[in-house]
Structure 1
């Protein structure tokens, strides 16, 4: 390649990311990522790892010693949790109320589990009694349950599920990728055995690191599985089913890497560690409850705003996540073309959806750094103009006025 053919430096356009994620990162998180690298066993690196673990105990509301990061996107954390907790042949129960429940089921199937699902209509959540009935019937080893599913915007209540799982001797795992930091999550109080998330939604960072927390019971299950180090089985009479079906996502090995022995497993993603630490630091500095309340208010303002524009909201609003709303695309408005106009003319990104909702709804997020008044009002003002351009009849200023009233009421 000649010098003239080499692309220029990265220069992304300015965007206001108001979709279901990823979102615009906190400026301090981006600054943290530009800090100089250190070696993975540098004392400063190990100090940051310890600080990050303690910060995320505050984010998760847990005292779990096994609170750390899995290097990779939020899906890396999901896969690490499931493949490390489940042996081939174990029964796994997955209540599905959106696309990401299907993802948990697929990952469990790839871990060679016997997967059972129950389903409810998209836009609804499960009653605890329905989950308990399925647990009694299926007798699973693990319940894998999404908390907030951005495909439907629904927030599954978890506060009664841990006690149900404990009553029946079931491990309880939740994917909190889309919900952690913007909605209530009480890992210890709710009886979670394992929970994973990502940075790119309410935590206000880039995709690429997955916070995880594990109860002592989950750690015992993980430690009970055989390990292979340097190609040698430590437990000579263990069957193949005893071994985690992944090296990179073997939480037993990752726990040793993050633990006091710092056993080599992989090279830590240093810049992502910086980002994850700063996401947690920013959240706890503002105050965990205050951040959740900021998401609640901004979510309520966006909900009022889209209704003020005459749009119909999808799903059971009583169980909607704080940080994302789905709205029906008005009849006659080309959904993808309108989204493209919003991006091209205003630099604002909103989302489409999946499966039965593809082409039917837009998903608009208010999360992390963008859970703030100016971002919400700017998005609603731009959306009004785009809707008018494509022939929709909308009240002048209806969205901005309704959202502003919510913020004034919360002040």
Structure 2
């Protein structure tokens, strides 16, 4: 006890020096007035849920097991080896040979900000294709760091033609064009072919978001001339949220490492992150931040599972399963539907929030409404990676039918 330690300390010559410290500690402990919260004295409880929304997805046992391995130091040689494996796995998933390929410590938003912060300087022109929430987010990020933002806007579910994109690039002369390959708020998988060629023609970097599409729809970073590509761990890759693959090609690196001003974020500064990931050619890696060790274990395993699949992505999709039986109208053109997230029109006369609440309560299934500009327009079902099974599609459709039967329908 503190009291016995204090008495012992008072007996010895060295103890006499430490007694005042222990007495102060004794007084401070006895003066605690806020009791331990009751919730912290109970064991952790987490319900079993079927995550059939746009992400995160259910994590397979193999990846959960990888994430539960004993922690090692984030600067240990063994950790560097695992990070090197992750880099190679991302290169395979992205279909790129870019040396500047890493995993961000954070969600897909971390990679999104990293891409903008490092390649755009205050006052520079950027062009954002907005047909859902992710373009809106990137536009706000770019404005916050002082870029001159130009928006191309379409309603959720619509896509931009290459002609429209080139005309906007000619007009605004941006240093960066952003496009979401997998626009999860609308269920759209945007065509990418030819856009990278247009960007190179006009000396513009091409930034692509694949958070919702990587592992569900094919993407070819090098062949499609994508300069910066990023994703997230928690969707079709089936890893827990918290890590975000990103890659920069030589064109992006030249812009990134020859800027006049420092990036607005120290944590996301690729000058430091490139060394942390062993991408800068220097013999030693210098401490920058403590990476999510367990998260990297899980990400490595998810990339290993992806590598075991011959095509590099999951060949089946929620669209394939749901189209066969769904009585609902799908809100995106057939050939542009995002494989991982299917958007359906809200059934006429029903409160979509009431339906989703009913499905969660009675079926333990998560589905979601729209996001950003698609709120009130659609409901979203995600069957990706580990969850992409016919039995899960049947379960989702059964839950929807049950909600239609038991939720109140307005007379309007």
Per-residue deviation, residues 287-308 of structure 1 (Å, max 9, x unmatched): 344x33123xx421113332xx
Question: In structure 1, how many angstroms separate the alpha carbons of the residues matched to 2:374 and 2:178?
Answer: 23
Give the aligned partner of residue 262 of structure 2: 243
Q: Aligned with 2:179: secondary structure? A: strand
Counterpart among 351, 361, 381 of residue 398 in structure 2 = 381
Q: Give TM-score scaled by structure 2 length.
A: 0.87
Counterpart among 275, 297, 304 of residue 324 in structure 2 = 304
Q: How many residues align?
A: 371
| Maintained 8 Å contact 2:104/2:110 | yes
Question: In structure 1, how many angstroms separate the alpha carbons of the residues matched to 2:165 and 2:247?
Answer: 23
Q: Aligned with 2:142: secondary structure? A: helix
Q: Aligned with 1:286: secondary structure? A: coil
1:330 aligns with 2:347: yes
- Mark the CA change 1:264 to 1:210 in structure 2 (over 3 Å): closer, same or farther: same
Counterpart among 119, 128, 136 of residue 102 in structure 1 = 136
Q: Aligned with 2:369: secondary structure? A: coil
Give the aligned partner of residue 401 of structure 1: none
Q: Aligned with 1:6: secondary structure? A: helix
Deviates more, 1:56-65 or 1:366-375: 366-375
1:257 aligns with 2:276: yes
Question: In structure 1, how many angstroms separate the alpha carbons of the residues matched to 2:64 and 2:101?
Answer: 23
| Maintained 8 Å contact 1:200/1:206 | yes
| Maintained 8 Å contact 1:303/1:325 | no
Question: In structure 2, how many angstroms separate the alpha carbons of the residues matched to 1:246 and 1:288?
Answer: 37
| Maintained 8 Å contact 1:59/1:288 | no
1:209 aligns with 2:243: yes
Q: Give TM-score scaled by structure 1 length.
A: 0.87
Higher alpha-carbon Rg: 2
Question: RMSD over aligned Cα, in angstroms?
Answer: 1.6
Per-residue deviation, residues 124-178 of structure 1 (Å, max 9, x unmatched): 1011111011011111111111111111111111111111111111111111111
Unaligned runs of 5+ in 1: 226-240, 393-411
Give the aligned partner of residue 165 of structure 1: 199
Deviation at 1:7, TM superposition (A): 3.9
Deviation at 1:203, TM superposition (A): 0.9
Q: Aligned with 1:211: secondary structure? A: strand
| Maintained 8 Å contact 1:326/1:361 | yes
Question: In structure 1, how many angstroms separate the alpha carbons of the residues matched to 2:335 and 2:408?
Answer: 31
Equivalent residues in 2 for 1:212-361 (5 A)? 212-225=246-259, 242-259=261-278, 260-289=283-312, 291-295=313-317, 298-306=318-326, 310-361=327-378
Unaligned runs of 5+ in 2: 1-34
